[in-house]
């Protein structure tokens, strides 16, 4: 019996449609979609601890329980991933099931010691965890695995931890056309404003140790912290303008104009140091008697004493003599 030609044609069409779907959804994307490596892509140099750790991650089946992709609809998994983050992930360990949390941003989240302890026995650091113990891994394997985990997503850091909202970026860009916040003239103008308005709380040297700080629960910011290097100009501007809700830091936009706030920002950005100068005891507080001068007198004293910080060697008589008997 000859097969009905119509059936053959129909079967041909079905096969064609099937192959087209395979081609469009699998073969075409794989051959044409070649994203550029992003800044966040993990790097595995062959033979490196990270590389070997990744093998262990695969061997132990960590990806049965852990994913490595954070999507729009996910909450609390850190920054989103992009296609180019995966250029070095072959074969991938994306995982499909989240019995445990997503690990795309695990690098740098915990110290190494946490991972060691957690792998030895997850219950020690996370009571109630259902993650199995991997205590049978030897020290060598363990250190590779931890090196791998610390690599995953460690480059996917936000450029700054605190960033000004767009509204303030725009406002700042306008004022930056007339104030060059990188100039020492602007910083100097800002210092004047600072000494008049801010030093009583933030201290003469910006260590958060002004006399008024004594009575405060939430102490004023210590601008010598290296962390503040991560603030860009617009962020300084915004923080000064809006204050810090829940603290006694005022909202300066209510009294200072945009230009003045830009001057202050120019000064503040000169304060962060390589290491924070902490305020450890009462003697570190700028005392009221030290503050009983205005900025220009302090500057004059500084110059005549030839010291950066006149208070370091402060002795009331010599100092007042140097200031020229202003008080």
Judged by the rule CB under 6 A, the positions of this chain that interact with ligand HEC are 57, 60-62, 64-66, 99-101, 103, 106, 109, 122, 126, 129-132, 134, 145, 149, 194, 197-198, 200-202, 212, 216, 218, 220-221, 236, 239-240, 244, 247-250, 252, 264, 268
Q: Annotate 181-224 with three-state secondary structure.
A: CCCHHHHHHHHHHHHHHCHHHHCCCCCCCCHHHHHCCCCCCCCC
The nearer residue to ligand HEC, 248 or 320, going by C-beta atoms, is: 248
Query: Minimum distance between the CB of residue 60 and ligand HEC, rounded to whole angstroms?
Result: 4
Query: Minimum distance between the CB of residue 21 and ligand HEC, rounded to whole angstroms?
Result: 34
Q: What is the C-alpha to C-alpha distance for residues 279 and 96, in angstroms, rounded to an integer? A: 50
Query: Minimum distance between the CB of residue 117 and ligand HEC, rounded to whole angstroms?
Result: 11
Smallest CA-to-CA distance from 204 within 294, 300, 95, 137 is with 294
| Consecutive H or E run containing 13 | helix 5-22
The nearer residue to ligand HEC, 77 or 293, going by C-beta atoms, is: 77
Query: Minimum distance between the CB of residue 275 and ligand HEC, rounded to whole angstroms?
Result: 17
Tokens of 144: 């590779």
The nearer residue to ligand HEC, 82 or 109, going by C-beta atoms, is: 109
Number of residue whose CB is nearest ligand HEC: 100
Task: Please name the residue ranges forming H helices in 255-315.
Answer: 258-268, 288-291, 295-305
Q: What is the C-alpha to C-alpha distance for residues 134 and 83, in angstroms, rounded to an integer? A: 31
Query: Minimum distance between the CB of residue 193 and ligand HEC, rounded to whole angstroms?
Result: 6
Q: What is the C-alpha to C-alpha distance for residues 175 and 253, in angstroms, rounded to an integer? A: 13
The nearer residue to ligand HEC, 193 or 322, going by C-beta atoms, is: 193
The nearer residue to ligand HEC, 82 or 219, going by C-beta atoms, is: 219
The nearer residue to ligand HEC, 189 or 201, going by C-beta atoms, is: 201
Query: Minimum distance between the CB of residue 295 and ligand HEC, rounded to whole angstroms?
Result: 13
Q: What is the C-alpha to C-alpha distance for residues 323 and 327, in angstroms, rounded to an integer? A: 9
**To 10 degrees, the CA torsion angle through 100, 102, 107, 112?**
0
The nearer residue to ligand HEC, 294 or 318, going by C-beta atoms, is: 294
Query: Minimum distance between the CB of residue 137 and ligand HEC, rounded to whole angstroms?
Result: 8
**DSSP labels for 148-167?**
HHHHTTTT---S-SS---HH
């Amino acid at each position: 019996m000859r097969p009905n030609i119509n059936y053959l044609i129909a079967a041909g069409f079905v096969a064609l449609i099937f192959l087209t779907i395979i081609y469009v959804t699998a073969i075409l994307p794989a051959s044409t979609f070649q994203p550029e490596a992003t800044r966040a892509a993990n790097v595995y140099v062959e033979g490196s601890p990270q590389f070997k750790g990744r093998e262990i991650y695969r061997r132990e089946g960590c990806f049965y329980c852990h994913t490595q992709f954070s999507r729009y609809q996910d909450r609390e998994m850190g920054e989103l991933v992009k296609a180019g983050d995966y250029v070095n992930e072959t074969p991938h360990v994306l995982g499909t099931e989240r019995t445990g949390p997503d690990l795309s941003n695990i690098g740098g989240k915990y110290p190494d010691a946490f991972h060691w302890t957690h792998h030895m026995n997850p219950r020690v650091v996370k009571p109630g965890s259902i993650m199995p113990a991997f205590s049978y891994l030897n020290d060598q394997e363990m250190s590779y695995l931890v090196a791998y985990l610390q690599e995953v997503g460690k480059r996917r850091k936000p450029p700054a931890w605190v960033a000004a909202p767009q509204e303030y970026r725009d406002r700042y860009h306008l004022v930056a056309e007339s104030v060059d916040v990188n100039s020492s003239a602007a910083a100097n103008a800002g210092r004047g404003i600072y000494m008049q308005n801010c030093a009583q709380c933030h201290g003469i040297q910006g260590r958060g140790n002004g006399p008024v700080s004594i009575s405060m629960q939430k102490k004023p910011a210590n601008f010598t912290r290296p962390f503040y290097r991560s603030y860009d100009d617009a962020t300084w501007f915004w923080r000064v303008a809006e204050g810090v809700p829940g603290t006694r830091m005022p909202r300066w936009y209510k009294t200072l104009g945009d230009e003045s706030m830009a001057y202050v920002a120019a000064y503040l950005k000169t304060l962060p140091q390589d290491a924070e100068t902490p305020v450890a005891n009462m003697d570190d507080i700028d005392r009221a008697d030290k503050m009983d001068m205005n900025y220009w007198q302090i500057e004059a004293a500084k110059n005549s004493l030839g010291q950066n910080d006149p208070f370091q060697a402060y002795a009331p008589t010599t100092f007042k003599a140097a200031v020229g008997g202003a008080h």
